[in-house]
Each structure stands twice: as structure tokens, then as C-alpha cells.
Amino acid sequence: MAEIRWTDFAIENLIHIGNYIEQDSVKYAEIVVNEIFDTTEILERHPFIGRIVPEFSKEHIRELFYGSYRIIYTVVSEDMIDILTIHHSSKLLSNIDYR
């Protein structure tokens, strides 16, 4: 089973998402943040389940989706996954630090 590590940048993204949604609904913000975390749990057993991120075209940089959010991660090894960023799909994906 792979270990999932959240980068500081990804945690920061998630906090911003929660804070933004919280302006309208504290309850919904909590739901969205928790469900984004829950979405990544499948990577523990299936690290390559996400699609390859088209902007990078690298086999080890992949993404899952939750609603309008792209959960971008890198497969460090079959035993290690790094969540790189949570990105709203309406915005262009800028450079992120990946290996």
C-alpha cells in the first residue's frame, strides 16, 4: 500500500479552497475539503489510476478529479505518492514543483 504525502503547497491550496467556500457555507467548505482528502485514498492501492496530466506529459505526474478540482500528484514510487496541488479546472495550470 502506498503512503500518501501532502506537500505544503497542496495543503495551502486546500486551505484557500476551504476559506473561499466558507464565505458562503461553513458546512459545505468542510464537506468539500473532506471529500478532496477522501478522493486521494484510492491512490494507496492504485497509484496509477489517475490520468497523465496533459500539460506535463510525464508518466509519473497524474491527476484525479473532484468536482471542478484537479488533484495533481506524482508517483514517487509504488509505495509513495506526493500530492502536489489542488487546482481549480477553470484556471490555467502554472508551473508546479515536480520530480
Q: Give the closest residue to 72 by CA, choosing from 20, 3, 13, 31.
A: 13
Q: Give the closest residue to 84 by CA, choosing from 92, 95, 72.
A: 72
- pLDDT reading at 60 higher than 90: yes
All structural domains of the chain with their residue ranges:
3-88
Homologous superfamily, domain 3-88: RelE-like (3.30.2310.20)
Mean of all residue pLDDT scores within the chain: 93
CA–CA distance, 64 with 19 (Å, rounded to integer): 22
Q: Return the HEC string of the chain.
A: CCEEEECHHHHHHHHHHHHHHHCCCHHHHHHHHHHHHHHHHHHHCCCCCCEECCCCCCCCEEEEEECCEEEEEEEEECCEEEEEEEEECCCCCCCCCCC
pLDDT at 94: 72
Q: State the pLDDT confidence band at 62, using cuts at 50, 70 and 90.
A: very high
